[in-house]
Amino acid sequence: MSPTTYKDSGVDLELYEKSMQRLPRLMHRTFSPRVMRNDGGFAGLFQLDFNCALFARQYEEPILVSGTDGVGTKLKVAQLVGRHDTVGIDLVAMCVNDILCCGAEPLFFLDYVAMSRDNPPLLEQIVQGISQGCLLADSSLLGGETAIMPDLYQGDDYDLAGFCVGVAEKKHLISGDHIADGDVVIGVQSSGFHSNGFSLVRKVVFDQVGLSIDTHIDELGQSVGEALLTPTLIYSALTRGVLGHYKVKNVVHGIAHITGGGLLENTQRILPDNVDLVFDKGSWEVPPVFGWLQALGDIPDDEMARVFNMGLGLVFIMSPFYAGTVTEIATSLGLKSWLIGKAVSGGGQSRWS
């Protein structure tokens, strides 16, 4: 019997090394001065002197804030299209947008890429997107892991997971506990589906209707692939601008990232027990991609609202006195925003008016 090698089992160590050689430049371009170089080491290093000039803010009692997420079955669309750089942006966005809801400043990001086999160009595309997402989030891509598992994944299948860490001042943490009767809700636009509901999207678009990724959608002016791969917006610049604007702290009482579960579920999770949020239907612009999908699959209104963000990626809950500043800062960043509801005395529920 001839000698057996790792390559015989599906893992090519030489090809793996070629993949790894493509990644350092994509990481290094995201590094802030707070990153301590440890090339070739077993871990990433990040300086935690929170009162030095390297940080955007000074911290008396710094609290580390962490989050993790993936991209889900949107990856199947990327595989159909053959474009893999945008899902890396999605990966960063889904993690970073969550920690922004605590009022955190993103610090660094780690990724995990699981593949069926070594594919250096594919891995480079994926990490290119992750690197771009970190630049948009003002977060350093500190490290990651690539796992080759031919027995768990087939062909060009792969999966992504992301992990981010940020910092917030303890006394300025945003939890929703201070949401009160009379507060208003400002909704900020999404770019489309973001990274949620793609099992339903794919079932309707590809399985039921039989469209291809190249099918042109007249009402959207895009192909199916282009519409579905629009990356998730990252709201770091917006939250940094809003939270850094006020001389009076804790004027933002709640922030919610609108993901799977839609507007009602994701805002209700941060409500105190004595307050309701009441939303006005029709108070914001719903991107046409949602109407296109709903008509294509005859999806009920309540199902659309429960599965998708319906055009709102992030919401701020705050005193009406300060709300205009959110709109001004969003506009300066090219983002649309709307007054979409208010807080009233109640029992901790989010509902329609």
> Where is 184: in which H helix or E strand?
strand 184-189
Residue matched to tokens 């031919």: 150
CA 92: distance to chain centroid? 6
For 64-111, write each residue's pLDDT tens digit. 999 999 999 999 999 999 999 999 999 999 999 999 999 999 999 999
- What is the DSSP code (8-state) at residue 52? S
Q: Could you tell me which CATH class the domain 6-33+56-172 is placed in? A: alpha beta
Each residue's pLDDT tens digit, 13-56? 888 788 888 888 999 999 988 888 888 788 989 988 777 666 66
Mean of pLDDT over the chain? 93
Q: What is the β-pairing status of strands 158-169 and 62-70?
A: antiparallel
User: 212 CB contacts (<8 Å, ≥6 apart)?
Assistant: 224
For residue 292, the model assigns a pLDDT of 98
Alpha carbons within 13 angstroms on the beta-carbon side of residue 214 total: 1
What is 184-352's CATH number? 3.90.650.10
> Coil, helix or strand for 111?
strand
Residue 249 has pLDDT above 80, yes or no: no
Taking the C-alpha atoms of residue 224 and residue 81, their distance in angstroms, rounded to an integer, is 9
| Rg of the chain over all Cα atoms, to the nearest angstrom | 22
- Chain region(s) in the chain for CATH 3.30.1330.10: 6-33+56-172
pLDDT of residue 204: 98
Domain boundaries for CATH 3.90.650.10 within the chain: 184-352
